């Protein structure tokens, strides 16, 4: 992607596409177990990059290597074109916000924030000035918080103190190890937005690690999805949403319907559910006997009124319905034991327990399983 | 953590059960600890060489103590105890750090190996050093085969300190290890990550956060070694007299129980002031592994 | 992690040296106990190795008597300590009652106390009560010192178990007594075994308290002390070694039990 195209896409925020961190063929093995397997990617200067994956995907191991708390078994980590594999964390110009936040429990908020400045030997007045600025930036009134014990702060306040402390270090890249996972949903939304704002205002490079793709999609410029120590897909949130590379990525994004299909040649396939099979039309050609997953988002499934023609129509039973604000979600079955999720506008409603279920071929995607 | 940890009604009612459960222990302490000590304190006020508690109290024993060489033996005991504490702190900190943070399976082994020594009577273990260090002992004899002739290495002050350091090592090591365990790994990592050097992490994170362990270990060792009796006798011969030995003498050969009691009271006074000062500063619940609860 | 390989090796080496030095005196005692000569001198020849002193020690009626007294004191004070310690631990860690914080300090007090003074104080107290000190007054003295330790060990175990179990039982209508009987006690019971071994061993090795409180009876450490301070006798290292072996055997037993239990736990956790 050229500079020109990139800056056009991201609009107001100017992003020089120079890469700040490059991960080249990195593996990490613990005995026989391979936590990270030959992973390569790069993080660009000033972007909000997110590593996302379920637990056990190797994302935390990857992060620990990036900040220097573990060393890769193989491969290189290059920070501004310098190999930093064996550089200990206290000599790297990077910094991490821990999942537990790891605030110093015996220090005040102010001293926590000043800690990186103190170890650097800055004068007390300089430290204080900087801490004061940072607390203000994070909406913590310095008059109230500077001398407050960190253990007396609320969850959200602690998040901000941890971020202020990391910013005080003035790192080239700021890493985050799921710091928001222990926060309740409402506050998490607020903090996600704040984090994004701070990233934009400070123009720092952020590298965030989380198990929630939703969180990743909200904040990130680019997302890398990890599974079993391997990167499954890497791209902008909209790219990933629009074209998930495989069934894992699609499923990871949230509630989707994945149908097991076996090609019959051409645009025809068999939808296999246990012992029964139904014929479906595909958006692309699939060779005979080839097995794939057909992705249909819940909002693409429709209840078809008699007379309307769509590509695929099946009779189905409605099992449950749930109200999700302005939308309604239904669980329906075409064949017993194989439920599908349908999401429609609340006003639409269903006529009875038996419905005609259908979708446009254009709304479905064929994925590798 | 100021509030009771759960506000459930039924637990508020556990006042009764708490008291009942504590009762056997409290009775034991009352009649096996508190009253005997009051007895000692009172005996210290009796006239010299009496064996009855029914005389008029006076402070003459204390006046006698400060006019005699007992001050010297008190100084010896305090000095030896302080030396033991300092040496053990330096000696045990790296090991405790290893136990708490570095050794994994090995930590259990080291813990058991050190703790097991507690089960062998301390005078047997001290006697081992006597066999090692006496004339033609294991150390001196081995050196002798290399042509380094040596007389007995026993009966001097450094050997007494060696004995105390040896006997009280577990009492420093385990509180220290518990204290260092209380320092969360992530907090240490965060400090490193924020650019702190090893020294900074030790000075600003490890040391303050493991302070409860350091204090408990130090006080424990100080108290035990100021009252120590066997080390100076078995390893030290007659080279110095400790306060505990003075006390024992008054009770046995001296047959002066009031004087011995007065000396004991002084010793207990000094140690208790220290113990209370330290214990009041430490949250023992947290130290013994109850996870701190979020409010 | 943060610790480099070199540091790890260094620390392990250091731990090894400390352990070697730590066991050096015991090695000396065992060495001395095997020497045939009336007056020990090192090094000695292979021909001088003998088990004679062990035979003497085991055959000695005196030693037998002292071992008997030590055992009696150890077992009885352990039983008392476990009983007091179990309820003490409940008060320490399980119930929230008004004086709990003070109680927790009280438990620590006897540990932070010079033992020789405690022994003396008890001696005077017995004297005042007109009780002639004998082995059973030593049981009381040992209990005063060991019960707090038993309480602490069991409290630590009580802390490490999930108190929501008791809340759940309560929620299902169990009375406080039923909770104690069916939940708390079974959960603490394994801990009591190790606490018991700890108590027996501590009493077995204790010297300072026995010195003052056994009166005309004498516990093993006392007898050894008397022999040690009156010149070298080869039976002393032999008896010392036997005492060491007994302690090692008991420790191995405890270690074996706990290792098996934790292996069992791992197997269970790995199962799901």
Write out pLDDT tens, residues A76-90: 999 988 899 888 888
Residues whose CB is less than 8 angstroms from the CB of residue B18 and which lie 6 or more positions away in sequence, other chains included: C90, C91, C95, C96, C97, C98, C99, C100
pLDDT for residue B289: 62
C-alpha span between C241 and C26 (Å, rounded): 8
**CA count, 13 A, side-chain hemisphere, B148:** 7
Distance CA C142, CA B175 (A): 23
The domain ranges of chain C are 59-271
Closest CA to C35 of C24, C27, C44: C44
Tens-digit pLDDT profile for residues A174-219 = 999 988 887 888 888 889 999 999 999 889 999 999 998 888 888 9
The pair of structure tokens assigned to C208 is 């300072």
* DSSP per position, B31-91: IIIIHHHHHHHHHTTSPTT---S-SPP-SHHHHHHHHSTHHHHHHHHHHHHHHHHHHHHHH
Highest mean pLDDT of the ranges A82-96, B223-237, C167-181, C193-207: A82-96
Q: Is B36 within 8 Å of chain A by CB?
A: no
Q: Give how far C267 is from chain A: nearest CA, Å.
A: 19
How far is the C-alpha of C129 from the C-alpha of C125, rounded, in Å?
6
Helix-then-strand count for chain A, H and E: 10, 20
Q: How confident is the model at residue A27 (pLDDT cuts 50, 70, 90)?
A: very high
- Nearest CA distance, C157 vs chain A (angstrom): 26
- Chain A positions touching B193 (Cβ under 8 A) are 67-69, 89-90, 92, 94-96, 169
Please tell me which chains touch A, using 3 or more CB pairs under 8 Å as the contact test: B, C
C-chain CB neighbours of B164 within 8 Å are none
The residue whose two tokens read 């620590």 is: C108
Dihedral angle of Cα A313, A314, A318, A322, to the nearest 10 degrees: -40
Q: Tens digit of pLDDT for each residue in B181-233?
A: 888 888 988 998 888 888 899 999 999 989 888 998 998 899 888 888 778 88
Kindly tell me if the per-residue pLDDT of B258 is higher than 80: yes
Q: pLDDT by residue (tens digit) across B107-138? A: 888 888 888 777 788 888 888 888 888 877 77
Min Cα separation B78/chain A (Å): 32
C164: closest CA of chain B, how far (Å): 11
Q: Determine the distance in angstroms separating the CA of C81 from the nearest CA of chain B, rounded to an integer.
A: 9
Q: Are C172 and C42 in contact (CB under 8 A)?
A: no
> Residue A9: pLDDT above 60?
no
- Lowest mean pLDDT, pick from A143-157, C17-31, C109-123, C222-236: C222-236
Give the residue-averaged pLDDT of C88-96: 85
Higher pLDDT: A102 or C43? It is A102
Q: Is B288–C159 a contact, with Cβ atoms under 8 angstroms apart? A: yes
Which residues are A340's β-sheet partners? A332
Contacts 24+ apart (CB under 8 A), C174-178: C176/B10, C176/B14, C176/B17
Closest CA of chain B from C272, distance in Å: 24
List residues bridging with A50 in a β-sheet. A208, A223
**Contact partners, residue C249, CB within 8 Å, separation at least 6:** none
Q: How many residues does chain B have?
A: 295
For residue B183, what is the DSSP state?
Answer: S
Residue B230's pLDDT is 79
* pLDDT tier at B52, thresholds 50, 70, 90: confident
How confident is the model at residue B13, as a pLDDT? 55
Most confident of B78-82, B85-89, C72-76, C105-109: B85-89
Within the 43-82 window of chain B, which residues sit less than 8 Å (CB to CB) from chain C?
Answer: 43, 51, 53
Confidence of residue C266 (pLDDT cuts 50, 70, 90): low
Asked whether B243 and B226 are in contact (CB, 8 A), the reply is yes
Nearest to C194 by CA among C143, C148, C255, C245: C255
Name the β-bridge partners of A223: A50, A235
A89–B205: do the CB atoms touch at under 8 Å?
A: no
Inform me whether the C-beta atom of residue B237 falls under 8 Å from chain C C-beta atoms: no
CB contacts < 8 A (B, C): 305
Q: What is the mean pLDDT of chain A?
A: 87
Q: Dihedral (C-alpha) B255, B258, B262, B267: value to the nearest 10 degrees? A: 40
B145 in contact with chain C, both atoms CB, cutoff 8 A: yes
Q: Do C42 and B18 touch (CB under 8 A)?
A: no
Q: Which CATH fold would you assign to the domain A3-245?
A: Rossmann fold (3.40.50)
Q: Rounded to an integer, what distance in angstroms lies between the CA atom of residue A250 and that of residue A292?
A: 13
**Would you say A367 and A250 are in contact if contact means Cβ atoms under 8 Å apart?**
yes
Looking at chain B, the whole-number percentage of residues with pLDDT higher than 70 is 92
* Banded pLDDT at A7 (limits 50, 70, 90): very low
As a three-state string, the secondary structure of A20-44 is EEEEEEEEEEECCEEEEEEEEEEEE
Residue C235, number of CB atoms within 10 A of its CB: 18
In this predicted structure, what is the pLDDT of residue B2?
Answer: 42
* Tokens, residue A44: 């660009």
CATH superfamily of B63-287: MetI-like (1.10.3720.10)
- What percent of chain A stands above pLDDT 70? 95
CB contact under 8 A, B196 and A119: yes
CB spacing of B189 vs A102 below 8 angstroms: yes
State how far residue A176 is from chain C, nearest Cα, in angstroms. 18
Q: How far apart are CA C258 and CA C230, in angstroms?
A: 42
CA distances, A269 to each of A263, A362, A366, B118, B285 (Å): 4, 15, 11, 76, 66
Dist CA C106 CA B122 (whole Å): 26
Please answer whether residues B126 and B230 qualify as being in contact, where contact means their C-beta atoms are separated by less than 8 angstroms. Answer: yes
Q: Are A177 and A97 in contact (CB under 8 A)?
A: yes
Q: Do C115 and B227 touch (CB under 8 A)?
A: yes
| Weakest mean pLDDT among A2-16, A18-32, A270-284, C76-90 | A2-16
* Percentage of residues in chain C having pLDDT higher than 90: 14
User: How far, in Å, CA of A219 to CA of A50, rounded?
Assistant: 8
How many other β-carbons are positioned within 10 Å of the β-carbon of residue A288?
11
- Residue B18 confidence (pLDDT): 83
Range name among A281-295, A333-347, B128-142 with the lowest pLDDT average: B128-142
Nearest partner of C222 among C75, C119, C113, judged by Cα: C119
Is the Cβ–Cβ distance between A30 and A84 less than 8 Å?
A: no
> Across the interface, do C42 and B136 touch by the CB < 8 Å criterion?
yes
The Cα A340–Cα A317 span in angstroms is 10
Of A97, A43, A73, A101, the residue nearest A229 (C-alpha): A73
Q: Highest mean pLDDT: which of B201-205, C42-46, C101-105?
A: B201-205
Q: Does B247 touch chain C (CB under 8 A)?
A: yes
Of the listed ranges A28-42, A129-143, C115-129, C156-170, the one predicted with least confidence: C156-170
Residue C167's pLDDT is what?
A: 73
pLDDT tens digits for range A157-174: 999 999 999 999 889 999
Q: Do C207 and B123 touch (CB under 8 A)?
A: yes
Flag whether residue B209 sits within 8 Å of chain A, measured between CB atoms: yes
Chains within contact range of chain B (3+ C-beta pairs < 8 Å) = A, C
Return the residue matching tokens 């007995």: B152
Distance from CA of B225 to the nearest CA of A (A): 31
**Would you state the structure tokens that stand for residue A240, as one six-digit string?**
């990933």
Mean pLDDT taken over chain C: 82
List chain B domain ranges: 63-287
List residues bridging with B22 in a β-sheet.
none
User: What integer pLDDT is reported at residue B6 of this predicted model?
Assistant: 44
Tell me the three state secondary structure of residue A15: coil
Beta bridge mates, A328: A323, A344
pLDDT at C250: 78
Put simply, whether B268 touches C (Cβ < 8 Å) is yes
pLDDT computed for residue B8 by the predictor: 45
Q: Does C2 touch chain A (CB under 8 A)?
A: yes
C3 in contact with B, Cβ within 8 Å = yes
Q: Which two tokens stand for residue A325?
A: 């604000």
Mutation target for B interface from C1, C17, C28, C88: give the one with most B CBs within 10 A: C28
What residues form DSSP beta bridges with C49? C35
Specify the 3-state DSSP secondary structure of A262. Answer: strand
Q: In residues, how long is chain C?
A: 272
The DSSP call for residue B118 is: G
Q: Other CB atoms closer than 10 Å to residue B167's CB: what's the count?
A: 23
- Taking the CA of residue A92 and the nearest CA in chain B, the distance in Å comes to 8
Distance (Å) of CA A86 to CA A19, A66, A77, A315, C14: 20, 10, 9, 61, 26
For the sheet with A291-296, list strands across it: A276-281, A268-273, A257-263, A291-296, A364-367
Which chain B residues have a beta carbon less than 8 Å from that of C250? 119
- Residue whose token pair is 């085969």: B145
Tell me the pLDDT band of C269, cut-offs 50, 70 and 90: low
C103 touches chain B (CB under 8 A): yes
* Smallest CA–CA distance from B195 into chain A, residue: A90
pLDDT at B295 over 60: no
Chains that touch C (3 or more CB pairs under 8 A): A, B
Per-residue pLDDT tens over the stretch A213-244: 888 888 999 999 999 999 999 999 998 888 88
User: What is the pLDDT at residue A304?
Assistant: 84
Q: Is the pLDDT of residue A6 over 80?
A: no
**Which residue is it, tokens 């650097």?**
A120
What residues of chain C lie within 8 A of the CB of B264, using their CB?
A: 117, 120-121
- Position A90 scores a pLDDT of 84
Asked if the Cβ–Cβ distance from B200 to A102 is below 8 Å, we say no
Chain B residue with minimum CA distance to C117:
B264
Given a cut of 50, is residue A253 above it in pLDDT?
yes
- CB-based contact A252:A241 (threshold 8 Å): no
Cα of A131 to nearest chain C Cα, Å = 27
Q: Do B127 and C236 touch (CB under 8 A)?
A: yes
A105, closest residue in chain B (CA to CA)? B209
Q: What is the CA radius of gyration of chain B?
A: 24
E strand spans, chain C: none
Shortest alpha-carbon distance between residue B252 and chain C (Å): 10
Strand partners, A235: A223
C245 in contact with chain B, both atoms CB, cutoff 8 A: no
Q: For residue A134, what pLDDT band results from cuts at 50, 70 and 90? A: very high
**Which residues from A are below 8 Å from B189, CB to CB?**
69, 89, 98, 102
Record: contact B22-C240, CB cut-off 8 A? no
Please identify, in words, the CATH class of the domain defined by A255-367: mainly beta
**C-alpha–C-alpha distance, residues B87 and C113, integer Å:** 21
Tokens at B67, concatenated: 């006019």
Confidence of residue A130 (pLDDT cuts 50, 70, 90): very high
Report chain A residues touching chain B, CB-CB < 8 A.
Answer: 67-69, 88-92, 94-96, 98-100, 102-106, 115-116, 118-120, 165-166, 168-169
When the pLDDT of each residue in chain B is averaged and rounded to a whole number, the result is: 82
| Number of residues that this document lists for chain A | 369
Q: Do B193 and A120 touch (CB under 8 A)?
A: no
Q: Count each helix (H run) and each strand (E run) in chain C, helices first.
A: 12, 0
What was the pLDDT predicted at A49? 95
**B193, B198, B209, B282: which to substitute to probe chain A, counting the most A Cβ within 10 Å?**
B193
Fold of the CATH domain C59-271: MetI-like fold (1.10.3720)
- Does residue A12 surpass a pLDDT of 70? no
Q: Domain coordinates of chain A in residue numbers?
A: 3-245, 255-367
Residue in A102, A116, A168 closest to B186 by CB: A102
Name the minimum distance, in Å, from the CA of C3 to any CA of chain A: 9
**A155 — phi, psi (to 5°)?**
-55, -45
Contacts of residue C3 in chain B, CB cutoff 8 Å?
A: 101-102
The reported pLDDT for the residue numbered C85 is 92
CA atoms within 13 A on the CB side of B182: 26
Which of chain A's residues have a Cβ under 8 Å away from the Cβ of C2? 69, 88-89
User: Smallest Cα–Cα separation from C75: which of C199, C193, C207, C242?
Assistant: C199
pLDDT of residue B290: 57
Do the Cβ atoms of B36 and C129 come closer than 8 Å? no
Contacts of A79 (CB under 8 A, 6+ apart): A20, A21, A92, A93, A94, A172, A173
């Amino acid at each position: 992607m050229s500079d020109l195209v990139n800056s056009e896409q991201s609009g107001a925020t100017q992003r020089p596409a120079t890469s700040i961190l490059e991960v080249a063929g990195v593996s990490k093995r613990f005995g026989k177990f391979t936590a990270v397997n030959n992973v390569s990617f790069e993080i660009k200067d000033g972007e909000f990059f997110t590593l996302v994956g379920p637990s056990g995907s190797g994302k935390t191991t990857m992060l620990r290597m990036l900040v220097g708390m573990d060393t890769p078994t193989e491969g290189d980590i290059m920070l501004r074109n310098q190999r930093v594999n064996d550089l200990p964390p206290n000599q790297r110009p990077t910094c991490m916000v821990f999942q537990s936040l790891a605030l110093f429990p015996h220090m005040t908020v102010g001293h926590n924030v000043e800690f990186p400045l103190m170890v650097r030997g800055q004068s007390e007045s300089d430290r204080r000035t900087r801490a004061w600025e940072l607390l203000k930036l994070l909406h913590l009134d310095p008059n109230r918080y500077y001398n407050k014990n960190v253990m007396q702060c609320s969850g959200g306040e602690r998040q901000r103190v941890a971020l202020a402390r990391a910013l005080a270090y003035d790192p080239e890249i700021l890493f985050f190890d799921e710091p928001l996972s222990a926060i309740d949903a409402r506050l998490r939304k607020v903090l996600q937005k704040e984090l994004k704002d701070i990233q934009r205002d400070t123009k720092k490079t952020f590298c965030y690690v989380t198990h929630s793709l939703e969180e990743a999609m909200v904040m990130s410029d680019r997302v890398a999805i990890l599974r079993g120590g391997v990167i499954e897909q890497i791209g902008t949130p909209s790219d990933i949403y629009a074209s998930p590379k495989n069934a894992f990525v699609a499923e990871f994004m949230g509630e989707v319907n994945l149908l097991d299909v076996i090609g019959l040649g051409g645009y025809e396939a068999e939808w296999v559910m246990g012992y029964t099979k139904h014929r479906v039309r595909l958006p692309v050609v699939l060779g005979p006997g080839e097995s794939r997953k057909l992705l249909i988002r819940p909002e693409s499934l429709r209840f078809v009124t008699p007379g309307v023609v769509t590509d695929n129509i099946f009779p189905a039973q409605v099992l449950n319905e749930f109200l999700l604000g302005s939308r309604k979600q239904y669980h329906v079955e075409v064949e017993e034991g194989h439920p599908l999720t349908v999401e429609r506008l609340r006003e639409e409603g269903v006529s009875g327990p038996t419905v005609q279920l259908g979708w446009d071929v254009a709304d479905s995607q064929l994925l590798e399983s | 953590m100021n509030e009771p940890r759960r506000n459930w009604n039924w637990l508020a009612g556990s006042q009764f059960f708490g008291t009942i459960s504590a009762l056997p222990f409290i009775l034991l302490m009352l009649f096996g600890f508190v009253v005997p000590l009051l007895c000692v304190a009172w005996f210290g006020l009796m006239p010299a060489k009496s064996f009855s508690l029914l005389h008029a109290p006076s402070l003459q024993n204390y006046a006698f103590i400060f006019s005699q060489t007992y001050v010297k033996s008190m100084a010896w005991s305090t000095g030896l105890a302080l030396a033991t504490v300092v040496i053990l702190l330096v000696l045990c900190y790296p090991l405790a750090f290893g136990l708490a943070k570095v050794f994994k399976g090995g930590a259990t082994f080291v813990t058991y190996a050190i703790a097991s020594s507690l089960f062998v009577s301390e005078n047997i273990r001290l006697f081992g050093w006597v066999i090692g260090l006496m004339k033609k002992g294991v150390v001196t004899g081995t050196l002798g085969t290399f042509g380094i002739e040596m007389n007995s290495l026993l009966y001097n002050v450094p050997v007494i300190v060696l004995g105390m350091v040896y006997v009280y090592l577990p009492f420093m090591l385990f509180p220290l290890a518990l204290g260092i365990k209380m320092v969360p790994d992530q907090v240490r990592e965060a400090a490193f990550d924020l650019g702190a050097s090893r020294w900074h992490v030790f000075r600003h994170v490890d040391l303050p956060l493991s302070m409860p362990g350091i204090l408990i270990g130090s006080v424990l060792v100080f108290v035990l070694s100021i009252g120590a009796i066997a080390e100076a006798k078995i390893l030290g011969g007659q080279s110095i007299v400790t306060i505990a030995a003075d006390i024992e003498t008054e009770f046995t050969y001296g047959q002066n129980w009031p004087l011995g009691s007065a000396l004991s009271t002084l010793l207990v006074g000094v140690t208790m002031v220290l113990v209370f000062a330290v214990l009041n500063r430490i949250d023992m619940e947290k130290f013994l592994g109850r996870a701190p609860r979020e409010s | 992690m943060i610790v480099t390989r070199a540091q790890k090796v260094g620390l392990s080496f250091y731990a090894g040296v400390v352990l070697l030095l730590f066991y050096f005196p015991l090695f000396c005692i065992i060495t001395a106990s095997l020497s045939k000569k009336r007056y020990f001198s090192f090094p000695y020849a292979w021909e001088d190795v003998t088990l004679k002193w062990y035979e003497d020690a085991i055959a000695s009626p005196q030693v037998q008597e002292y071992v008997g007294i030590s055992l009696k004191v150890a077992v009885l004070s352990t039983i008392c300590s476990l009983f007091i310690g179990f309820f003490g631990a409940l008060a320490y860690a399980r119930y929230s009652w008004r004086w709990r914080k003070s109680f927790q300090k009280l438990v620590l007090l006897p540990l932070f106390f010079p033992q020789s003074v405690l022994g003396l104080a008890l001696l005077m107290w017995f004297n005042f009560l007109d009780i002639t000190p004998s082995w059973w007054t030593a049981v009381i003295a040992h209990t005063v010192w060991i019960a707090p330790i038993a309480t602490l060990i069991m409290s630590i175990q009580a802390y490490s178990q999930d108190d929501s179990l008791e809340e759940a039982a309560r929620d299902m209508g169990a009375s406080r007594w039923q909770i104690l009987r069916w939940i708390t006690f079974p959960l603490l019971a394994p801990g009591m075994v190790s606490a018991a071994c700890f108590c027996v061993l501590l009493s077995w090795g204790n010297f300072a308290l026995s010195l003052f409180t056994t009166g005309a009876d004498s516990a093993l450490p006392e007898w050894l002390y008397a022999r040690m301070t009156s010149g070298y006798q080869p039976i002393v290292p032999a008896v010392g070694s036997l005492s060491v072996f007994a302690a090692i055997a008991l420790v191995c037993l405890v270690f074996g039990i706990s290792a098996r239990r934790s292996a069992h736990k791992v197997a269970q956790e790995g199962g799901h």
